[in-house]
């Protein structure tokens, strides 16, 4: 009788451990934490024609790549704006993404019937198809808007404006945009691709607490923002790696 009870206990423990391992295998592709991002990319082409200009020009393809990276790393919001002589009413490209990437069912657990597992696979493939279709549609619309922003930011009209660098206004606008999509779990970033030299003179509003300004410029820093600039980078890729890594 005692041997029978012992074997029963061992059998139950064995089944329990097998089920736990199978559950872990089925969930192996599920994300442990979905990060949220809140980013505003500000382009500055006001000194594009200057021989001393060290500000990189950002093509719209790089803006779209930034949006794709955001969806790979999590969810959130991406804004793209630009500097001219008055940034208060400048057009903004907006990318909002709140969909969680579907989780693959993983390897079939031994205890699960094949028919049930095939149902899970089919459901995943359907969800993945809808996710990819919606993402492609959103990226396409954002790409069109970014193309328009690129043309305006790096136009000769902007480059030839005297006292045309409303950098303070661009930072104020970026902060307002980020505040609109603020969430307890996201961290706001302003990527300022500029020399940071304002010559319009608007008052700089107080930044929302926790907002980081990342300056992208290959020249020696000439800006007047002091500790408001969290980090300085030479390339946009360096700033992006800082945010997502």
Q: Half-sphere exposure of residue 79, counting CA atoms within 13 Å on the CB side? A: 25
The burial of 129, by beta-carbon neighbours within 10 Å (0-12 exposed, 13-18 middle, 19 or more buried), is given as: exposed
User: How far is 124 from 170, CA to CA, in rounded Å?
Assistant: 43
The answer to whether 106 and 29 have CB atoms below 8 angstroms apart is yes
Residues near 214 by Cβ (< 8 Å), separated by ≥ 6?
189, 190, 191, 192, 229, 230, 231, 232, 233, 239, 242, 243
**Span 45-68, pLDDT tens digits:** 999 998 777 899 999 999 999 999
Q: H or E segment at 81?
A: strand 74-83
For the chain, where are the alpha helices, taking DSSP H only?
2-26, 60-73, 114-153, 156-159, 167-180, 236-244
The answer to whether 117 and 25 have CB atoms below 8 angstroms apart is no
**End-to-end alpha carbon distance in the chain:** 60
- For the chain, count helices (H), then strands (E): 6, 6
Per-residue pLDDT of the chain (245 residues; tens, 9 = 90+): 555 555 555 444 554 444 444 444 444 444 446 799 999 999 999 999 987 778 999 999 999 999 999 999 999 999 999 999 999 989 999 999 999 899 899 898 989 899 899 889 999 999 999 999 999 999 999 999 999 999 999 999 999 998 899 999 999 999 999 999 998 778 999 999 999 999 999 999 999 999 999 999 988 778 889 999 999 999 999 999 999 99
Sketch the domain layout of the chain as residue ranges: 35-101+130-244
- Range 35-101+130-244 classified under CATH 3.10.450: no
196 torsion bin: left (phi>0), alpha (psi -120 to 50), beta (else) = left
Q: Half-sphere exposure of residue 135, counting CA atoms within 13 Å on the CB side? A: 21
The burial of 191, by beta-carbon neighbours within 10 Å (0-12 exposed, 13-18 middle, 19 or more buried), is given as: buried
């Amino acid at each position: 009788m005692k041997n029978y009870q012992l074997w029963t206990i061992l059998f139950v423990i064995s089944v329990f451990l097998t089920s736990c391992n199978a559950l872990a295998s089925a969930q192996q592709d599920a994300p442990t934490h979905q990060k949220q991002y809140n980013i505003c990319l500000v382009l500055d082409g006001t000194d594009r024609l200057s021989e001393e200009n060290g500000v990189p020009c950002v093509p719209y393809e790089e803006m779209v790549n930034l949006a794709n990276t955001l969806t790979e790393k999590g969810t959130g919001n991406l804004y793209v704006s630009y500097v001219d002589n008055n940034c208060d009413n400048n057009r903004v490209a907006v990318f909002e993404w709140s969909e969680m990437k579907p989780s693959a069912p993983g390897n079939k657990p031994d205890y699960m019937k094949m028919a049930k597992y095939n149902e899970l696979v089919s459901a995943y493939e359907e969800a993945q198809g809808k996710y990819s279709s919606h993402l492609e549609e959103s990226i396409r619309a954002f790409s069109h808007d970014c193309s328009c922003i690129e043309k305006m930011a790096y136009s000769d009209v902007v480059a030839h404006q005297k006292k045309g660098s409303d950098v303070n206004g661009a930072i104020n606008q970026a902060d307002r945009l980020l505040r609109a999509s603020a969430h307890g779990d996201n961290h706001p970033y302003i990527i300022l691709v500029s020399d940071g030299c304002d010559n319009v003179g608007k008052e700089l509003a107080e930044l929302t607490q926790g907002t980081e300004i990342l300056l992208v410029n290959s020249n020696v820093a000439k800006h007047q923002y002091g500790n408001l600039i969290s980090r300085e980078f030479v390339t946009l890729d360096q700033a992006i790696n800082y945010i997502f890594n």
